[in-house]
Structure 1
Amino acid sequence: MAQREDTTDLNEKRIHIVALDIPYPANYGGVIDIFNRIRALNNSGIRITLHAFYSNRPEAPELKEYCDSIFYYKRKMSISNFFSFMPFIVKTRIDKKLLYNLLRDTDPIIFEGLHTTAYLNHTRLKGRIKLVRMHNIEYEYYYQLAKSEKNVLRKLYNLLEGFKLKRYEKIITVADHVVTISPNDYDHYNATYPNIELIPSSHSSRKIESLPGYGEYIFYHGKLSVPENENAVMFLLKNVFSRIKTPFIVAGMNPSNKLKRTIKKLDYVTLIANPPEEEMLKLIREAHINLIVTFQATGLKLKLLKSLYNGRFCIVNSPMVSGTGLEPLCEIADTADDLVKTIDEFMHINFSPDHIKIRHQNLMLMFDPVANAKKWTSLLFPEE
């Protein structure tokens, strides 16, 4: 446990945040949202006690800059937890030390993801202000994972986990507010549950960093160990980049050997595995087109947001932007033929200052970090 010296005025606002993973480094979707929310709330004067579950990420001393106290809890990854009626992602994050630490005061609590909600309805937390941040429609996410998974055992696990999550999610009725990440998710939950709010993703960008002019390559980035992302890249390699000669760069975390072998055979394609954040941003900014394709329309893909804030043209398919409100800022192409045609068209178009101005006007309406921090604060401290 890491702790910062307490010099707190009794009138200062304090909260607990229960994170599904250690939110630093902020290098994949869920932890990007969590880390940047921690930073934004801290900058607005809120003092934070962070509780972080982990399995394979190290403790992060960098978080001490934003948190008064940090408690770490190792996930219980026992095989017996697969056979629980409770979803595996929840069951493995039960720790009595967490409950004890939450009961040390009466501060409001943000539960990050359905993953962390095992104690949401605990009798000893009754009367506390409790918010649940929904990063996805979780059961749909697991059903989609099952569709893209070729390994029979993993496919069965994803189907079963989706079934458990659909049954389990009614626990969110106990929360004072359920905070969704996209308009699509808001509509889904608001049709069934009370107290649903929409606050878009917290992110690191404070202004549009896109460069005007032309780039020389097309870029795809994502967590490449995720089957959804690998399937998207394989689709692009087979159906799009086999037909064009524009340089294509793929970058991301932990690509499989299969993906490495496939890319090695292609003359116009380069793979960059596990680039540091600065290099990733440079690749996004210098590309002429950020190509972002998914076959899993769940949540808001933060790689899209990063590309819109930092890159030039964004070409996407419909599932990537469906229900996000970001459709007007992207070029949408759904078939391989349309992708080839759109890429060919936009590789010859100058990304102008007018493009940047329009992007700024639209993104700041939804994703202004200061305004969104105020929304979180009003939910956490409703009487002030």
Structure 2
Amino acid sequence: MDKHLHIISFDVPYPTDYGGAIDVFYKIKALHKLGIKIHLQTYEYGRGQQDELLKYCETVNYYKRDTGFRSFSFSLPYIVNSRDNEEMMRRILNDDYPVLMEGLHTTFFYNHPDFLKRKAVLRAHNIESLYYTGLAETEDNLFKKIYFKNESRLLEKYEAVVIKKIPTLFMTLHDAGHYCNKENVNWGLLPVFHPNEIITCQEGIGSYCLYHGNLGIPENEKTAIWLLQNVFNDLPVPFVIAGKNPSKKLEALAHEKQHTCIVANPSDNEIKDLIQRAHINVLPAFNKTGIRLKLVNALYNGRHVVVNDEMVCSTNLESACHIGNNAAGMKSIIIQLYHQPFTGEEIKLRENLLNTYYNNDTNARKLIPWLY
């Protein structure tokens, strides 16, 4: 008998140009490969309808997200309240297929009497309250800072209730630890899904150090600026920053010195090429929630990877990385590694770790028993 599944996505998961979309899209592909008939219910608010999704889904339905001031609430987080959609609810209740809710954003219906009878699982992409606290800390605009702080407060209350009601799959043990020690929480671990199928790391020595990410996200811009001002300020090795939508401020800072530069809005293939050609991927983070696809991509495709504890927390990837927890520590590691060839033994270590924890097919098979 065919197995059907509703997936509620917080955003259109194609093109795969940011972390949340990447995780959802490659999860859909992996489940489709295993014969699951997917009915995608997705909110659309700027990314448009995507024919690519029909290759892997039986049906794709798009719903308007109600953005604007009328979705602000004193009791519900904006990311949840703005996704209230009765048409979606009616469509899902027309059958008895299980439901995979991608992100806390998609849980508006969790307490509906009819929905409570359904087999449903929440996939938590991170601890949203902590994520929004981090956004508030890195935001300079006063209005946005107030919004992020209030959203974090509402999310903390909302998360605690929802996670007790719906079985929840976290990306990391750190995220699970935020709630799994509390009573009546049914939880499991499901690592991030990603586009990598084989390891393409190259032995030998690369040409520069690299930081990559979506530079339009305040946390990533903060990280890039921190590296420019604290690590590569007086470290005379080539340093490249690459990613989407860099600000004028970041572009100016990246071109202040002869040994630093920025590559704006590279394609997916260009990013992969930059990762492969780099000698060291330098990837610090400033919070521990969720998992960074940039780390997974660097380990699949790059040479040496230098991180801090926040980046590798609960990923099982610590042994494949070099860890420095401040600017001085990162400088010291980079100096040691910059003329040190990347070896086949290091590639074998990565193959073992990545195939054990981050194989899409294996993780899709782990997901299925939660749904049926």
**The TM-score by the shorter chain falls in which range?**
over 0.9
Q: CA deviation at 1:133?
A: 0.2
Structure 1 residue 47 corresponds to structure 2 residue 43: no
Structure 1 residue runs of 5 or longer lacking an equivalent are: 1-10
Distance 2:50 2:224 in 1: 31
Q: CA deviation at 1:146?
A: 1.1
1:4 equivalent in structure 2? none
Distance 1:313 1:255 in 2: 25
In the alignment, is the contact (CA less than 8 A) between 1:183 and 1:325 conserved in 2? no
Distance 1:264 1:367 in 2: 36
Q: Name the stretch that deviates more: 183-192 or 22-31.
A: 183-192
1:211 equivalent in structure 2? 202
In the alignment, is the contact (CA less than 8 A) between 2:320 and 2:346 conserved in 1? no
2:94 equivalent in structure 1? 104
Q: 1:288-327 to 2 correspondence within 5 Å? A: 288-327=279-318
2:10 equivalent in structure 1? 20
- Pairs aligned (count): 370
Q: CA deviation at 1:241?
A: 1.2
Relative to the length of structure 2, the TM-score reads 0.97
Structure 1 residue 266 corresponds to structure 2 residue 257: yes
Q: CA deviation at 1:231?
A: 0.6
In the alignment, is the contact (CA less than 8 A) between 1:84 and 1:91 conserved in 2? no
Q: CA deviation at 1:151?
A: 1.6
In the alignment, is the contact (CA less than 8 A) between 1:141 and 1:298 conserved in 2? yes
Structure 1 residue 60 corresponds to structure 2 residue 54: no
Question: Which of the residues 134, 145, 153 maps onto 1:163?
Answer: 153
Deviation by residue 1:308-335 (Cα, 9 ceiling, x = unmatched): 1111111011111122221111101111
Question: Which of the residues 319, 325, 338 maps onto 1:334?
Answer: 325
Question: Which of the residues 91, 110, 113 maps onto 1:120?
Answer: 110
**Matched AA of 1:372:** N
Distance 1:187 1:167 in 2: 16
Relative to the length of structure 1, the TM-score reads 0.94
In the alignment, is the contact (CA less than 8 A) between 1:253 and 1:274 conserved in 2? yes
Structure 1 residue 366 corresponds to structure 2 residue 349: no
Q: Name the stretch that deviates more: 265-274 or 209-218.
A: 265-274
Identity of matched residues, %? 38
Structure 1 residue 343 corresponds to structure 2 residue 313: no
Q: Secondary structure at the match of 1:98?
A: helix
Structure 2 residue runs of 5 or longer lacking an equivalent are: none
Q: Secondary structure at the match of 1:197?
A: strand
Deviation by residue 1:15-74 (Cα, 9 ceiling, x = unmatched): 000001111111211111111100000000001000111322122111111001101112
**Matched AA of 1:61:** D
In the alignment, is the contact (CA less than 8 A) between 1:205 and 1:306 conserved in 2? yes
In the alignment, is the contact (CA less than 8 A) between 1:16 and 1:110 conserved in 2? yes
Q: CA deviation at 1:124?
A: 1.7
Distance 1:204 1:65 in 2: 16
